[in-house]
Chain A
């Protein structure tokens, strides 16, 4: 188990859970998104290799309406 912060909210994920696994769970694999992991932008090709650890901070962003 790992306690992480996702978009400012505390959630718990299984151990050995990758960013890709999380995206699958959130149904975001086919969406236009970008991810910041502990302040560092993660390239798409690294989603499967990046595992989530306790106290990780994850930001998932997308485009919304704006001026």
Chain B
């Protein structure tokens, strides 16, 4: 039996069982969403705030399938392109049921969906002042990540590559620098394409990963959710175990002594 190291994961004092956080967008239907969340083992999911459909009251809603009492809802400002929109969204989310732990995402460009870091920093300051615990989606620039932490961010969430691109971790060096300097959790958000990308992020020492498209857009989302669960656990264990040193030359695995 392998002795596993005690390895608690906390964001803004909230204890989480899983280092994998999943999004709830882009699924075929709510039943698939619920099954994928279950298979992923995630106990925190991101959600968006939108208008209630007043014309079709019988249409199923997310809370019918994913119980906010059992799974932590992380309200997200996806789709907001200004500080004002993001603040409005999160204040409404808080009114909905006391959500203080939120994810801030202020986008700056419709094509790449890169975050507008000026608006993001501005919003972080205001939200922290209003008592929110803010997990912040950001670019992989270590200086700006530091700035967010200095302004009270509860977690730094640098992108691996553009949202929904599936291009995987493009700048390992920057992500490593951010991990090294941060005292709050670093959670890679956006751009992860497949399970091995998540393992790489975790092996670098990320505290967690947030996945939506890579699971929801897989041919079999529920199976991919399970793959990500294993990938994140694997990567984390690998990080904790500490990898071997890289050598330029070969080194035999079997002893030379007693060769026939």
Chain A interface (Cβ < 8 Å from any Cβ of B): 6-9, 26-28, 31-36, 41, 43-44, 59-67
Contacts and interface: CB of A to CB of B under 8 A. Distances in A.
Given A34-B95, A66-B78, A67-B76, A61 B54 contact: no
B51 A61 contact: yes
A9 B96 CA distance: 22
A35 B96 CA distance: 8
B177 to A, nearest CB: 25
Contacts of B97: 32
Given A66-B47, A67-B25, A67-B212, A7 B95 contact: no
Interface in B1-41: 23-27, 30, 33
Given A28-B52, A32-B68, A33-B52, A67 B163 contact: yes
B46 A32 contact: no
B91 A64 contact: no
A65 B24 contact: yes
Given A61-B49, A65-B26, A67-B46, 4 more contacts: A61-B50, A61-B52, A63-B47, A64-B49
B253 interface: no
Nearest to A65: B24
Contact of A33 (B23, B62, B96): B96
A49 B47 CA distance: 30
A67 B54 CA distance: 23
Interface centre among A32, A63, A67 (most CB of B within 10 A): A67
B132 interface: no
Interface residues of B, number: 38
30 contacts: A6-B54, A7-B51, A8-B51, A9-B54, A9-B55, A26-B54, A26-B57, A27-B57, A28-B52, A34-B96, A35-B95, A41-B92, A44-B95, A60-B51, A60-B52, A60-B54, A62-B52, A62-B63, A63-B75, A64-B62, A65-B25, A65-B27, A65-B30, A65-B47, A65-B48, A67-B24, A67-B25, A67-B48, A67-B78, A67-B212
Nearest to A9: B54
B81 interface: no
B73 interface: yes
B92 A61 contact: yes
Given A67-B25, A67-B78, A62 B61 contact: yes
Given A32-B68, A66-B24, A59 B51 contact: yes
A56 B52 CA distance: 17
Given A32-B96, A34-B92, A67 B51 contact: no
A64 B46 contact: no
A-B pairs with the 8 shortest C-beta distances?
A: A66-B48, A67-B23, A67-B212, A65-B24, A34-B95, A34-B92, A63-B47, A34-B96
Contacts of A67: 23-26, 46, 48, 76, 78, 163-164, 190, 212-213
